[in-house]
Amino acid sequence: MITPELIRALNPRHPRPDVAAQKLQAAALQFGITSPRQVAMLTAQLAHESGLIPQEENLNYRATRIRQVWPSRFPTVASAEPFAFNPLALGDRVYSGRMGNGPGEGFLYRGRGQLQLTGKSNYVTYGRLIGFDLVANPDLLLQYGVSSLAACAFWTAHGLNPAADRGDVVTVTRAINGGTIGLDDRERLYQRALTNVPRYGLLASDAPLDVARDAAADLETRHEAFTRTLNLLSN
């Protein structure tokens, strides 16, 4: 269901749509993100966050931009000047002492991956769920496979499938962003994704299943994978 064509539709300049599609499809299967609307919402949100490319948060801002992004922390442009074009200092200023980060850890656990996972506590939680030590190796999130797994683990942990099936962009955006930043773009990408998700893709509920040809599509296999995920989340 997640195809290179879908990736290209959401990001025409994507450097490796084949790899992105393969890794994200595998992760979506593992975490039970299977309906066309779920896939459309997931890929649209990731397209907004990162262009569907695992990357690290850009903190190389000018002072005026710092003031726009974090107005409560930088009440004036002058207060942001010491952090302009200084990603390390800015990351520590805005993220240290929050989200499980200790002193001086803000830049280390800045946003990474397709979902821009941020904060040591998130690195701990989702690293455990996907079986990778993201605390010791945060740059693993810059790999397509690990990044896709982390994004889908986050999605399932926050129970976003029902909202996705309703087409509720606002609820999904709040879960990912903490607010509604970029809502118009997320909505635009969602509508584009809907028109590019194969109507009768691998896991469409009304598509005939051929277990011998593709065991990953077997309903029992999907149920077992989803049950394992729920057990992980409850531990």
Band (pLDDT 50/70/90 cuts) for residue 201 is: very low
In whole numbers, what is the pLDDT of the chain averaged over residues? 88
Average pLDDT estimate for 60-89: 96
Over the stretch 36-71, which tens digit does the pLDDT of each residue have? Answer: 999 999 999 999 999 999 999 999 999 999 999 999
Identify whether the C-beta of residue 127 lies closer than 8 Å to the C-beta of residue 98.
no
pLDDT at 195 over 80: yes
Helices (H), 32-168: 36-50, 63-69, 77-80, 87-95, 120-130, 144-157, 161-166
Higher local confidence (pLDDT), 34 or 221: 34
CA distance 33 to 118: 22
pLDDT at 212 over 50: no
CA distance 44 to 180: 14
Over the stretch 107-164, which tens digit does the pLDDT of each residue have? Answer: 999 999 999 999 999 999 999 999 999 999 999 999 999 999 999 999 999 999 999 9
Report residue 117: phi and psi, to 5°. Answer: -60, 130
